[in-house]
Structure 1
Amino acid sequence: MAAWAAWALGSVARAETRARYALDLRSDDPLAGLVLRSVLAGARPAWERR
């Protein structure tokens, strides 16, 4: 959840770090996996200003 919150607030580096940490603890965490894939793909929240 922390990874998603960081991503949603626009902190890409923090989101990636937290997602990787969550996946280290539990490799089948679907939300952490989604956040990490989104970060690596360069996806941003729809509400973020560009």
Structure 2
Amino acid sequence: MTITTNTKAAVLAEALPWLKALHDKIVVVKYGGNAMTDERLKAAFAAD
């Protein structure tokens, strides 16, 4: 899947308020279940 520059910019612009709110905070991400056993999902998680 190829993501255009405009799409990337739009996603980042939408995420910016959340990123600012989480700045200097501890964030815990649960990683388990199918995401651990399916190689495709594992790669997608790491890429994000």
TM-score (norm 1): 0.27
| Higher relative contact order, chain-length normalized (CA < 8 Å, sep 6+) | 1
Which protein has the larger Cα radius of gyration, Structure 1 or Structure 2? Answer: 2
TM-score (norm 2): 0.27
